[in-house]
């Protein structure tokens, strides 16, 4: 499972706090996800970030 952040991100920083190993803030003030499969021990935090994003900007894909 991989994650990505789409262009609707408002840069609130919530995902970077919930799963900092996967999500970081980019230079343009929007979050970015590492382009790799999530590790097993990250999955619950990554999914929590996806479900918690206030604008549903996080997507998961295989
Ligand atoms: Fe962007 Fe959503 Fe992450 Fe906030 S939680 S920084 S809006 S992707």
Spatial separation of the C-alpha atoms in residues 45 and 27, rounded to whole Å: 23
With H, G, I as helix, E, B as strand and everything else as coil, classify residue 40.
helix
- Which residues touch 3 (CB under 8 Å, ≥6 apart)? 22, 23, 33, 38, 46, 49, 50, 58, 59, 60, 61
CA-proximal residue: ligand 1, atom 4 (nearest): 12
DSSP single-letter state for residue 42:
G
Which tokens is 30 given? 């929007």
The pLDDT confidence band at residue 58, using thresholds 50, 70 and 90, is very high
Nearest residue (by CA) to ligand 1, atom 5, is 53
* pLDDT tens digits along 1-57: 999 999 999 999 999 999 999 999 999 999 999 999 999 999 999 999 999 999 999
Mutate which of 30, 57, 59, 60 for ligand 1? The one with the most ligand atoms within 8 Å of its CB, which is 57
User: Does residue 18 contact residue 45 with C-beta atoms inside 8 Å?
Assistant: yes
Q: Which ligand 1 atom lies nearest to the CA of residue 12? A: 4
């Amino acid at each position: 499972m991989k994650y990505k952040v789409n262009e609707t991100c408002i840069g609130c920083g919530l995902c970077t706090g919930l799963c900092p190993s996967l999500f970081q803030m980019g230079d343009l003030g929007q979050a970015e996800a590492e382009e790799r499969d999530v590790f097993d021990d990250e999955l619950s935090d990554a999914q929590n970030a996806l479900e918690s994003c206030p604008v549903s900007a996080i997507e998961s894909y295989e």
